[in-house]
C-alpha cells in the first residue's frame, strides 16, 4: 500500500462532484465487503454539500447498506441545532436526511443551544469518539475522511499561525476567535485526522490554487495546515482545473 499524495484534476465543479461521489460509492462497497461497518468523516463548505448531493443523485447509492455506515464531522460551527450554517445541517439537507439509518449512525457535534459550554462540548464529542474507539485508539478507525481546504490553507477549523494545529494530546478542541466566522467552533485535531485510512481533499476554484500549490511543495503545517494532513493508506486531492493551476505537472495523477 502507498500513502503518497495524488492529485486528480477535473474540468469543472460539476464533473468533480460527480466523480468524487462515484468513487465514494465504489470505495464504500469495497470497504463493507471486508468489514462490518464503515466510519466516514464529512466536511462542510460548498463542495462538501455538493458531493453529498451528487451521492444522493446517483442511482448507485441504493447499492450501499447505509445502516452500516457511521457519519462524523471534522469540525463544526458553534451555532444552534438546525442552523443552516452548521455542517451537519448542510449534510442533512444535501443527502443524509433522505437515509433511513439508525439515529446512532450520525454523530454531530453538540450545538450552542445544547446547554453545554464550548469546552464541555469538546469533551462530550471526545467521549463520543472514544465510545467507538478500536485498537486502543480514542476514536474510530476512520475509513474515509473528507476535507475541504480554505484559501488560507486551513482544514477543519485548524487555521494558519495558530497553536491548534500543534495539539496532539486531545482528539477534539474548542476553537475561539476564529479568523473565519463564526468565532467559536469545535474541531478534530491533526492526529485524529492523520489516523484516517484515506484522506480525500475536495477543492475547487482559483482561490484555492495557492494553498494547494504550497501544500504540495512542502510548506510548513503551521503556515499552511493542509500540508500537515496525510492519510495512512492514501491521500487524494480531488480538484477542478482552476484549483490545480499551481500544481506541478509531475504531481498530477492520470488515474486513481
Say how far apart CA 227 and CA 193 lie, in whole Å. Answer: 12
Residue 220 lies in a domain: yes
Instruction: State which residues form the domain around 63.
Output: 5-251
**Could you tell me the CATH number of the domain that includes residue 94?**
3.40.50.1360
Q: How far apart (Å, rounded) are the C-alpha atoms in residues 198 and 201?
A: 10
Q: Which residues pair with 8 in a beta bridge?
A: 238
Q: Which of 225, 1, 21, 216 is nearest to 10 (CA)?
A: 21
pLDDT in tens, 75-117: 999 999 999 999 999 999 999 999 999 999 999 999 999 999 9
Task: Say if pTM beats, i.e. exceeds, 0.85.
Answer: yes
CA distance 223 to 205: 20
Task: Tell me the mean pLDDT in the region 173-191.
Answer: 97
Residue 256 in any domain: the answer is: no
pLDDT recorded at residue 3: 59
Proportion of the chain above pLDDT 70, given as a percent: 98
Residue 164 in domain: yes
Residue 167 DSSP SS3: coil
Tally of structural domains, the chain? 1
Cα–Cα dist 238/170, whole Å: 29
pLDDT at 163 over 70: yes
Is residue 161 assigned to a domain?
A: yes
Q: Is residue 156 part of a domain?
A: yes
For position 120, what pLDDT does the model report? 98
Quick: pLDDT tens for 206-230: 999 999 999 999 899 999 999 999 9
166 belongs to a structural domain? yes
What pLDDT was estimated at residue 255? 61
Q: Output the pLDDT for position 249.
A: 78
Q: CB neighbours (10 Å) of residue 37? A: 15
Give residue 248's pLDDT.
76
- Reported as a pLDDT band with limits 50, 70 and 90, residue 1 is very low
* CA 198 to each of CA 28, 34, 38, 116: distance values in angstroms, whole numbers, following the listed order: 12, 16, 12, 32
* The C-alpha cell that represents 225 in the structure block: 495546515
Model confidence pLDDT, tens digit, residues 35-68: 999 999 999 988 999 999 999 999 999 999 999 9
Amino acid at each position: 500500500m502507498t500513502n503518497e499524495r495524488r492529485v486528480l484534476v477535473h474540468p469543472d465543479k460539476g464533473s468533480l462532484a460527480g466523480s468524487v461521489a462515484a468513487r465514494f460509492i465504489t470505495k464504500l462497497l469495497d470497504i463493507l465487503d471486508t468489514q462490518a461497518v464503515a466510519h466516514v468523516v464529512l466536511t462542510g463548505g460548498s463542495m462538501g454539500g455538493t458531493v453529498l448531493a451528487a451521492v444522493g443523485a446517483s442511482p448507485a447509492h441504493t447499492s450501499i447498506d447505509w445502516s452500516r455506515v457511521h457519519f462524523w464531522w471534522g469540525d463544526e460551527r458553534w451555532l444552534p441545532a438546525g442552523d443552516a450554517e452548521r455542517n451537519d445541517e448542510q449534510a442533512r439537507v444535501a443527502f443524509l436526511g433522505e437515509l433511513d439509518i439508525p439515529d446512532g449512525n450520525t454523530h454531530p457535534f453538540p450545538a450552542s443551544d445544547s446547554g453545554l459550554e464550548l469546552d464541555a462540548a469538546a469533551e462530550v464529542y471526545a467521549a463520543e469518539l472514544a465510545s467507538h474507539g478500536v485498537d486502543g485508539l480514542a476514536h474510530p478507525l476512520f475509513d474515509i475522511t473528507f476535507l475541504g481546504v480554505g484559501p488560507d490553507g486551513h482544514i477543519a477549523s485548524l487555521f494558519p499561525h495558530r497553536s491548534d494545529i500543534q495539539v496532539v494530546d486531545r482528539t477534539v478542541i474548542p476553537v475561539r476567535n476564529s479568523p473565519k466566522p463564526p468565532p467559536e467552533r469545535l474541531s478534530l485535531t491533526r492526529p485524529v485526522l492523520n489516523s484516517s485510512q484515506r484522506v480525500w481533499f475536495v477543492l475547487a476554484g482559483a482561490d484555492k490554487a495557492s494553498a494547494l500549490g504550497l501544500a504540495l511543495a512542502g510548506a510548513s503545517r503551521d503556515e499552511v495546515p493542509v500540508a500537515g494532513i496525510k492519510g495512512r493508506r492514501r491521500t487524494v486531492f480531488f480538484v477542478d482545473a482552476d484549483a490545480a493551476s499551481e500544481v506541478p505537472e509531475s504531481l498530477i495523477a492520470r488515474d486513481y
